[in-house]
Amino acid sequence: MISTLHAGFSWAYAVSGLLVGMLVGLTGVGGGSLMTPLLVLLFGFAPSTAVGTDLLFAAATKTVGTSIHSALKSVDWRIVGRLSLGSVPATVLTLLVIAHYGAASHVINTAITTTLGVALLISVVSLFARERLVAAAMRRNEDFGLTTSIGLTVATGFVVGALVSLSSVGAGALGTVALLFLYPRLPLNRVVGSDIAHAVPLTLVAGLGHWYLGAVNIGLLFNLLLGSVPGIILGSYAVGKVPDYILRPSLGLVLTLVAIRMLTAA
């Protein structure tokens, strides 16, 4: 079933990778929230191809991020394991459903477009409500996360796995917020590091599944990576130089408009 699509070098794709990488470095918002809609709405790629390519794109970039967080000892591998217990089976089940209908079928492309729109709205909520959710979790139970979150973490992994496999969005937006809620007393750098580390096996398994189903454009993938790596570096160095009161509402507005566009196109 493997029928990998190809594309030659394109400055437009590389620059898109650069811009998305800069925004990821600046805001921490997952690349899927930005890249997948860009590929669908601006460049006209089929939703299945955009998702499959973005999944392998995320696997490559987050492998680099994980190596850095691991070296800094900011990954809680117990949490990564719990999330993976739920996300890997969910990914396999989702891929089986996609294979059943066909990656390029109208049913799957409609499901991807709808799920993507919903996932983007979740990203917007997480962008503005993160601090309130953490405060609510800490008030609810001071010990929450130390002894009572194992089952909920596996369940979270399952939901994130299905969402990411179908839309490529959710690992950063939903995963980080869920971990902050489940483990409110865990240092933020370990929450972020654990979420990034979990995204590697999740996006790799899902991306390889989409590749097997013929829904990955390898040439496009390399173009995006060519721009995103320097973009993430530049964005990371620019953190704090763009006022949050400008950056967050602007990004929230863009994601909301894109979500509405995806939902109306479904």
DSSP for 160-199, please give it: HHHHHHHHS-STTHHHHHHHHHH-TTS-HHHHHHHHHHHH
Q: Across 187-247, where does the E strand assignment appear? A: none
Radius of gyration over every alpha carbon of the chain, rounded to an integer in angstroms: 17
pLDDT tens digit string along 14-45? Answer: 998 888 888 776 766 666 778 888 898 889 99
- What is the per-residue pLDDT for 87? 95
Q: Tell me what the pLDDT averaged over the chain comes to.
A: 82
Residue 1, pLDDT > 60, answer no
HEC readout, 107-148: HHHHHHHHHHHHHHHHHHHHHHHHHHHHHHHHHHCCCCCCCC
Closest by Cα among 147, 157, 185 to 94 = 157
pLDDT in tens, 75-116: 899 999 999 999 999 999 999 999 999 988 999 989 999 988
Helix (H) or strand (E) holding 28: none
Rounded to a whole number of angstroms, the distance between the first and last alpha carbons of the chain is: 26
Segment among 54-68, 80-94, 153-167 with least mean pLDDT: 54-68
Taking residues 53-69, report their average pLDDT: 84
pLDDT at 206: 95
Query: pLDDT at position 217, please?
Result: 93
178 burial via Cβ count (<10 Å: 0-12, 13-18, 19+):
buried
User: Looking at per-residue confidence, does 93 or 123 come out higher?
Assistant: 93
- Of 80, 68, 76, nearest in space to 188 by CA: 76
Instruction: Give this prediction's pTM.
Output: 0.83
Beta-bridged to residue 236, according to DSSP, are none
Quote the percentage of the chain above a pLDDT of 90: 31
**Residue 155 neighbours by CB distance under 10 Å:** 17
Span 147-167, mean pLDDT?
A: 87
Question: Does 182 have pLDDT greater than 80?
Answer: yes
At residue 3, the pLDDT reads: 43
Tens of pLDDT, residue by residue over 197-209, are: 898 899 999 999 9
Interval 146-172 mean pLDDT: 84
Nearest partner of 20 among 11, 29, 8, judged by Cα? 29
Beta partners for 217?
5
pLDDT at residue 107, as a whole number: 92
